[in-house]
Amino acid sequence: MIAQGYITDVSYIPGFYPQMAPVALRHVAALNGVVPPAASAGFRYLELGCGLGRVVTTLAAANPNGEFVGVDLNPEHTAVAGREIAAAGLANAQVITADLADLPADLGEFEFIALHGVFSWVGPEVRQQILQAARRHLAPGGLLIVSYNAMPGWAHLQPIRAILRQYAALRQGDSVQRVRDALAYLVFLRDRQAKYFVDNPRASAYIDALLTQDVRYLAHEYLNHHWTSFYFAEVAEMFGGAGLTFVGSLPTHTNFWDLCVRPDFQELFRTTRDRLVTEAHKDFCANTAFRWDIYAKSPRRIDGLEGRLAVADDLEFRVAKAGTRLPVQASLGVVTSTVDGPLYGMLVEMLSAGSLRLSQILADDRLSATPPADLARAVDAGVALGLFEVSARHVPAADANATARGLVVVNAFNRAVLESDALGGRAVALASERLGTGQAIGDLDAAILQEFVAGGREGLSDRLARRLAASRRTLQRDGKPVDDPADQRKLVDAACDIFLSLTVPRLGQVGILETSAAP
């Protein structure tokens, strides 16, 4: 049931995390003045502890010029990934069943290494093996992304994990049954007002969040023997010992300390030049509980804006949401920021009509009053604020009339994912070559997409309603199930309308839906 303290009796859940995409890593490196690995001429990408392999497969489908390798010790996980690779015909993806202690000798070097949901959940020996793998297999100039449970955000929640695990160990059955029992015990303690919960109201609320989670996720999150959380400085020291340098973090706004700490703390940060110190203090001001950090091996510094254009001008920028009008309010954890003013007004106008490279933005006369370095900073900050998105290739403007034509889902991977995940209860990530990453849609939208492609917009709501009735998927409003058939029908109609007006143009824009070649 357990390998090196890690549970193996229950399979994990599939998931795609946009933070792991090369396009996101390359942008964070560039905005922090570090030369990102070149991507257009091909690159290699390794995921350690890849679980069911959805990151590997989605990124492989979105980046045909990359070679993707996943490693996991659980053969049930790698078997699922292997089947999905075969179903989608992904020639540039493979998964290997191996313990991190025993990686194949001929694995070679990678421009990108990623590990999510692994570093905090494995024992100290496995962490050493991860550091060893980083030292050996990350190419010079390569980027590594690691996620982990962070302090101080976990401080008041650690006791919950301790009780969950202790109680689960006393129960019978597999890890899912044990975690279910342990959760019921926590609810019992909380509802009878055990003093820990009275003294820690956020921990009490956290139980409600746990109750909404998939129990397989809870088993993998909480039942591993070595589960732990780290301060940023501890992780930086470990990777520093493996010869890696901290570059930056995701989501993008975490690279802008003024978007992470309230204005009353900002004077303190202004005077601190040391990025490592800034990161540590930022986590206290934001009570960070989870981090995605990017490290580089032998990073080369970018030499000014010209230098950035020489190494990262293949990245393109565009408005994230069609129809964006300023002012826009961005809520970023502890900071809420309002985006407005003529500079952003012009950028929104330019980046609404398809994506542009930084060099194209800088060359536009309409922005000539702003110094180039400030302009680049404004574009990066726009990404941080959620106003703009970065893409690996050109993304044209959305076509509002896209629904008038016959459309097909172009990629075999996307068709396979729709088949397996529609109405599955969690977001479905489709691969976009233009974005170089996954595009998430809801599981209901995934079913609407299938019905729309198969039978057009005529009778779309009827077909979806029939399909829902035959499934176990319940519709919800404000987190509560909707039982009344008339209300259900209203929700189905509304979902189809929104799908046709927003989702179809968006999927067409990023190249997931294309006009059928057939007459």
Please say which residue, 12 or 344, places its beta carbon nearer to ligand SAM: 12
Least separation in angstroms between CB 73 and ligand SAM: 4
What are the tokens at 251? 């989501």
Give me the least distance between CB of 470 and ligand SAM, in Å please. 29
Q: Which lies closer to ligand SAM via its Cβ, residue 85 or residue 315?
A: 85
- The most distant pair of C-alpha atoms in the chain lies apart, rounded to whole Å, by 70
Give the nearest distance from C-beta 97 to ligand SAM in angstroms.
Answer: 9
CB of 334 to ligand SAM, least distance (A): 26
Give the end-to-end CA distance of the chain in Å, rounded to a whole number. 55
Helix and strand element counts for the chain (H, E): 21, 20
Measured CA to CA in angstroms, residue 125 lies from 131, 182, 226, 281, 304 at distances of: 10, 28, 10, 29, 41
Reduced to 3 states (helix: H, G, I; strand: E, B; else coil), residue 384 is helix
Q: Which is nearer to ligand SAM, 74 or 503 (CB)?
A: 74
What is the nearest approach in angstroms of ligand SAM to the Cβ of residue 177? Answer: 19
Packing angle, helices 460-469 and 443-455, rounded to 10:
130
Structure tokens that stand for 127 in this block: 């962490």
Whole-angstrom distance, CA of residue 167 vs CA of residue 221: 15
C-beta of 413: minimal distance to ligand SAM in Å? 17
Binding site for ligand SAM (CB under 6 A): 4, 6, 12, 15, 49-51, 72-74, 77, 99-100, 116-118, 121-122, 126, 220
Burial of 331 (C-beta count, 10 Å sphere; 0-12/13-18/19+)? exposed
Residue 171, phi then psi, degrees to nearest 5: -90, 170
List of E strands, 282-341: 290-297, 316-319, 328-332, 335-339
Residue from 158, 176, 185 nearest 213 by CA: 176
Amino acid at position 228, single letter: T
- According to DSSP, residue 500 is labeled I
Determine contact, residues 89/412, Cβ cutoff 8 Å.
Answer: yes
Name the residue nearer to ligand SAM (CB basis): 31 or 50. Answer: 50
Cβ 452 vs Cβ 504: under 8 Å: yes
What SS3 class is residue 486?
A: helix
CB of 99 to ligand SAM, least distance (A): 4
The one-letter code for the residue type at 59 is L
Q: At what angle do helices 75-88 and 412-421 cross, to 10 degrees?
A: 130
**Minimum gap (Å) between residue 450 Cβ and ligand SAM:** 24
Coil, helix or strand for 224? coil
Q: Which is nearer to ligand SAM, 74 or 355 (CB)?
A: 74
Measured at the alpha carbon of residue 220, what is the angle toward residues 216 and 222, in degrees to the nearest 5?
Answer: 110
Q: Work out how close the CB of 78 gets to ligand SAM at its nearest, in angstroms, rounded to a whole number.
A: 9
**Which of residues 6 and 257 has its CB atom nearest to ligand SAM in the complex?**
6
Least spacing, CB of residue 189 vs ligand SAM, in Å: 26
Q: Tell me which residue has its CB nearest to ligand SAM.
A: 51
In 3-143, which ranges are continuous DSSP H helix? 22-31, 54-62, 75-88, 124-137
Least distance to ligand SAM, CB of residue 466, Å: 33
